[in-house]
Structure 1
């Protein structure tokens, strides 16, 4: 019986890791789209650029931590990180700064929305498993 429980646990862990990998892969499409723009922002915006890029690159660690721990609270932290990135995108696309065009902002938002939808489904799935 104990061996059967251990097998079931390892299957759940693998599924959680695979889900985290899919979310991370989708998120990396966002990073690959935004990174070339961000590194070319002018020097007068270097503080914002460094914070933005740091947050964007650190987000993958949040996904990996959530995948390994299988805790809903870690998923909420990852979701919060996506919300922060959305705010940074709004800041960058403000016409007063002109760091991103409206179209670039929309494309980046779509990438984040797709990642967020996958993350939301992951949260729902984990919550459903906990409520049983």
Structure 2
């Protein structure tokens, strides 16, 4: 993973991409999974919160807003949304690499310690994205793919 580079985040379980629903630009818009459309709403930049900290902001290219745990809640099943930049831990993510699978990561919310996952093992376009305890599921694993040129 190169910090500050733009990626697609493909869910390993479903094969679909992390995206902002309907390409919405406003704070509070839900994040879901979707079929690859080439839209900027499916592109994400991972930038360190502080150099060398291990915490990252995950910023949507289309909206400029950050991946955020709704209401900064700590429970399983809380939806993930985008929100304007703030200095709160609900927008900070620990990127855990999978050493046996290059490019594959888990994203752990700093505030809750829970993982970003596709709810209910959905393989459907528009499937809900939430936080959940680590179940070692491929629906909690994400493949970082460079955005194709052009």
Name the TM-score, length of structure 2 as normaliser: 0.26
Structure with the largest fraction of helix: 1
Name the TM-score, length of structure 1 as normaliser: 0.28
Q: Highest Rg: 1 or 2?
A: 1
